[in-house]
C-alpha cells in the first residue's frame, strides 16, 4: 500500500535507528523496501508490511528515494560507491552520523554521480521517532527537501538549514556536544552525593529542575557572546566562577575531578590573561582559541 503522495522509499541499514525510521514509514503507509548487511534484521519490518531486498542494489533500484542510516561515513561509501550508477537520478537522504566535512564530501560525490543529496542529523533516540519531541535537521538539496518534506516529517519536526550539506551535521554535533558535557556534569554531581549514600535517582530529582532553570541563561550568554563585550554589567565574573571549591571537595571525596578540571582550565586561562573581572561567557574565547 502507498500513501496518496505515492512515494516509495528504500531504507539501507536496519540498526536500532534505521529500523525505527523504516517502521515509521511503514506505519504511514509508504511502500518501504529495506536492506541490511546482516540477515534477519528485516524480519520484524517485513511482518509489519515492509519489503525486504536481497541486496543493497535491489533496494536502491526499488525506489526513487533512498535513505542511508549506516554505521559511519566509510560504510556509506562502502555500500553506495558500487551503486553510483543505480543511484543516478534518485534522491539520497543520508542520516548516518558524519562530520560536516564528510557530509560535504558525500554531497560532492553525489553531485558527480547525478544524485540529489540531503544530509540529516537526527536529534532523537530510536523510540522517539514519529513521536512529539523528535527533531531532524537537514541540509543539502533544497529541491529534495521541498519534494520529500511531507515524508520526512513522519519522523519528527524537520528543519532545513540550506544548500551547504555540512550545516545539518554541524548543528547536530554542536548540540550533542552541549548534551554530553551536561550529562557528564550531572554524573559528576551524582558521584559526589553518592559518597553520602544518596542514590542517583534522588539527585536527579533535584538536578533536573535546576538544570532546566539554568538553560534559561543561554539567551543572555548568547547575546553577550554575539556582542563580544564581556564587561557588560550583571554578568557573573570569571573570578567568582572559579571551581576550586568543587575540585577540592571532589578530591576529598575520592571523586575524579576530570569533568570540572576541563571547565576550570578554560576559566583560569582567561583569568591568567587578565580578564578575571569579566563575565563567565568569556570562556568561549578559550574554546575558540585553544593553546
Same domain, 41 and 158: yes
- Collect all residues with Cβ–Cβ distance below 8 Å to 58 and sequence separation of at least 6: 33, 35
24-31 long-range contacts (CB < 8 A, ≥24 apart) are 24/129, 24/130, 24/154, 24/155, 25/151, 25/154, 26/50, 27/130, 28/3, 28/151, 28/154, 29/1, 29/2, 29/3, 30/2, 30/3, 30/151, 30/154, 31/1, 31/2, 31/63
**Domain membership flag for residue 168:** no
Residue 6, pLDDT score: 76
Residue 39, pLDDT score: 84
Same domain, 26 and 97: yes
Range of the domain at 127: 8-163
Residue 130, pLDDT score: 97
Same domain, 209 and 142: no
Cell of 17: 535507528
Domains identified in the chain, total number: 2
Q: What are residue 63's phi and psi, to 5 degrees? A: -145, 155
Same domain, 104 and 223: no
Residue 5, pLDDT score: 66
The domain spanning residue 91 has which CATH number?
3.40.50.720
Same domain, 12 and 68: yes
The domain spanning residue 257 has which CATH number?
1.10.1040.10
What is the reported pTM?
0.92
Same domain, 95 and 216: no
Same domain, 142 and 19: yes
Same domain, 14 and 140: yes
**Domain membership flag for residue 173:** no
Largest CA distance in the chain: 68
Same domain, 283 and 240: yes
**Domain membership flag for residue 224:** yes
- Cα 29 from chain centroid? 27
Same domain, 222 and 103: no
**Domain membership flag for residue 273:** yes
**Domain membership flag for residue 180:** no
Rounded CA-CA distance 280/56 in Å is: 51
**Domain membership flag for residue 201:** yes
The answer to whether the Cα torsion of 26, 32, 36, 40 is positive or negative is: positive
Place of cell 553531485: 111
Per-residue model confidence as pLDDT tens for the chain (291 residues) = 334 467 999 999 999 999 999 999 999 999 999 999 998 899 999 999 999 999 999 999 999 999 999 999 999 999 999 999 999 999 999 999 999 999 999 999 999 999 999 999 999 999 999 999 999 999 999 999 999 999 999 999 999 999 999 999 999 999 999 999 999 999 999 999 999 999 999 999 999 999 999 999 999 999 999 999 999 989 999 999 999 999 999 999 999 999 999 999 999 999 999 999 999 999 999 999 997
Same domain, 128 and 243: no
Number of Cβ within a 10 Å radius of residue 48: 12
Residue ranges of the alpha helices (H) in the chain? 16-27, 43-48, 56-62, 73-80, 84-87, 100-112, 142-152, 167-194, 200-214, 218-227, 244-252, 258-270, 283-288
**Domain membership flag for residue 114:** yes
Domain boundary among the residues 145, 163, 181 is at 163
Residue 70, pLDDT score: 98
Number of Cβ within a 10 Å radius of residue 118: 27
**Domain membership flag for residue 172:** no
Same domain, 118 and 224: no
Amino acid at each position: 500500500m502507498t500513501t496518496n503522495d505515492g512515494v516509495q522509499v528504500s531504507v539501507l541499514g536496519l540498526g536500532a535507528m534505521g529500523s525505527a525510521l523504516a517502521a515509521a514509514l511503514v506505519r504511514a503507509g509508504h511502500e518501504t523496501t529495506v536492506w541490511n548487511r546482516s540477515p534477519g534484521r528485516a524480519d520484524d519490518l517485513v511482518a509489519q508490511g515492509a519489503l525486504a531486498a536481497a541486496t543493497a542494489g535491489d533496494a536502491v533500484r526499488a525506489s526513487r528515494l533512498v535513505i542511508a542510516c549506516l554505521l559511519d561515513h566509510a560504510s556509506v561509501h562502502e555500500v553506495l560507491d558500487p551503486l553510483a550508477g543505480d543511484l543516478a537520478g534518485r534522491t539520497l537522504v543520508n542520516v548516518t552520523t558524519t562530520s560536516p566535512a564528510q557530509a560535504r564530501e558525500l554531497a560532492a560525490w553525489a553531485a558527480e554521480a547525478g544524485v540529489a543529496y540531503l544530509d540529516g542529523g537526527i536529534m532523537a533516540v530510536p523510540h522517539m521517532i514519529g513521536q512529539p519531541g523528535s527533531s531532524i535537521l537537514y541540509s543539502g538539496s533544497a529541491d529534495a527537501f521541498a519534494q520529500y518534506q511531507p515524508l520526512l516529517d513522519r519522523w519528527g519536526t524537520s528543519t532545513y538549514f540550506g544548500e551547504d550539506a555540512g550545516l545539518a551535521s554541524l548543528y547536530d554535533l554542536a548540540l550533542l556536544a552541549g548534551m554530553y558535557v551536561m550529562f557528564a556534569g550531572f554524573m559528576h554531581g551524582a558521584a559526589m552525593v553518592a559518597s553520602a549514600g544518596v542514590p542517583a535517582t534522588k539527585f536527579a530529582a533535584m538536578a533536573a529542575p535546576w538544570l532546566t532553570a539554568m538553560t534559561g541563561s543561554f539567551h543572555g550568554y548568547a547575546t553577550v557572546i554575539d556582542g563580544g563585550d564581556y564587561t557588560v554589567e550583571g554578568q557573573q565574573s570569571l573570578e567568582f566562577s572559579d571551581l576550586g571549591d568543587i575540585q577540592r571537595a571532589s578530591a576529598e571525596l575520592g571523586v575524579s575531578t576530570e569533568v570540572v578540571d576541563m571547565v576550570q582550565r578554560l576559566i583560569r586561562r582567561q583569568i591568567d590573561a587578565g580578564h578575571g573581572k569579566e563575565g563567565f561567557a568569556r570562556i568561549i574565547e578559550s574554546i575558540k582559541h585553544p593553546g
